[in-house]
Structure 1
Amino acid sequence: MKRVFICSPYSGDVKHNVQAAQGYCLEALIEGCAPFASHLLYPQMLNDANPVEREWGIQAGLEFLLTCSEVWVYGQPTEGMKREIAFAEAAGIPVIERQP
C-alpha cells in the first residue's frame, strides 16, 4: 500500500480545514493508499499557538513524511505547507497537486 503525506491548510478556519483534511485522507484510503496528515494528529496534543510546540509537531511530521511515497498537496500552501513541500522536494519525494 502506497503511503501518502496529506499536505493541506490547518490555520485559519481550523474547523473547516480539519474536516477537509479528513476528507482528503478518506479519498486516499478509497484510492488504496495509506494517508498520514500530521495536522490532524499533533494539534490534538500540542498547542499550535505555542511556537516551540508547533515546531515539535512540524519536525515530527517531517520525519513521517520521509517514509511516504508521495506528498499530496491540497489548496493554497501556507507557510507550514511550504516547509513540507520544500522538504519533500529536497528528499526527492514526488509532490502531487490535488484538487480540493
Structure 2
Amino acid sequence: MERKGYRPLVYICSALSGDEEGNAEKARKYSRFAVDSGAIPLAPHLLLPQFMDEGEERELAMFMDLVFLGKCEEVWVFGSEVRLSEGMRAEIGKAERRDMKIRYFTEGLKEETGCR
C-alpha cells in the first residue's frame, strides 16, 4: 500500500561519457520521465560536473555517486546493455550487492522486463 503523496527516491543510471552533451540531455529526459512516473529522480552525473572535473576527480566523483545510490530506494537503468559504461556497471554492481530494486528501460523509456 502506497502512502498518499509518497514518491520513491530513484537513482538515474545512464551514460555520460562519450557524447557528454547528448548524454546529459538524455539524463534530463530520463529524470523528467521519473518525475512523470511518480518518483523523485537523483542523477548525480548531472549534478557533479557542475563543480567537479571529471578528468581530475573521477575517482572521487564515482565514490560520491555510490553514496548517493545508497540513499535511493531503486535504481533505474536507461540504455542498451551493450552500451553500459564502466561507471554504470559499477553502479549496477553496487545496487545488486545491496539487493536494491533495479529497473531497466530503453532509451525510448520502455521498461524491459525479464531480460537481465
| Shorter-normalised TM range | over 0.9
- Of residues 84, 98, 106, the one that matches 1:91 is 98
Q: Which residue of 1 aligns with 2:20?
A: 14
**Residue 95 (structure 1) shift:** 1.5
1:79 aligns with 2:86: yes
Q: How many angstroms apart in 2 are the aligned matches of 1:96 and 1:55?
A: 26
Q: Which residue of 1 aligns with 2:53?
A: 47
What TM-score do you get using the length of structure 2 for normalisation? 0.81
> What stretches of structure 2 of length at least 5 have no aligned partner?
1-6, 108-116
Identity of aligned residues (%): 39
The CA deviation string for residues 21-76 of structure 1, in whole angstroms up to 9 with x for no partner, is 000000000111000011001111111112xx111111111111111111111112
Pairs within 5 Å for 1:60-79: 60-75=64-79, 76-79=83-86
Q: How many angstroms apart in 1 are the aligned matches of 2:71 and 2:17?
A: 25
Number of aligned residue pairs: give it.
Answer: 98
Q: Counterpart of 1:12 in structure 2: which amino acid?
A: G
What secondary structure is seen at the aligned counterpart in 2 of 1:35? strand
| Structure 1 stretch displaced more, 7-16 or 69-78 | 69-78
Q: List structure 1 runs of 4+ shifted beyond 2 angstroms.
A: none
What secondary structure is seen at the aligned counterpart in 2 of 1:97? strand
What TM-score do you get using the length of structure 1 for normalisation? 0.94
Q: CA RMSD in A?
A: 0.8
Q: How many angstroms apart in 1 are the aligned matches of 2:55 and 2:33?
A: 29
Higher relative contact order (CA 8 A, sep 6+): 1
Q: How many angstroms apart in 2 are the aligned matches of 1:41 and 1:55?
A: 16
Tell which structure's C-alpha radius of gyration is larger.
Answer: 2
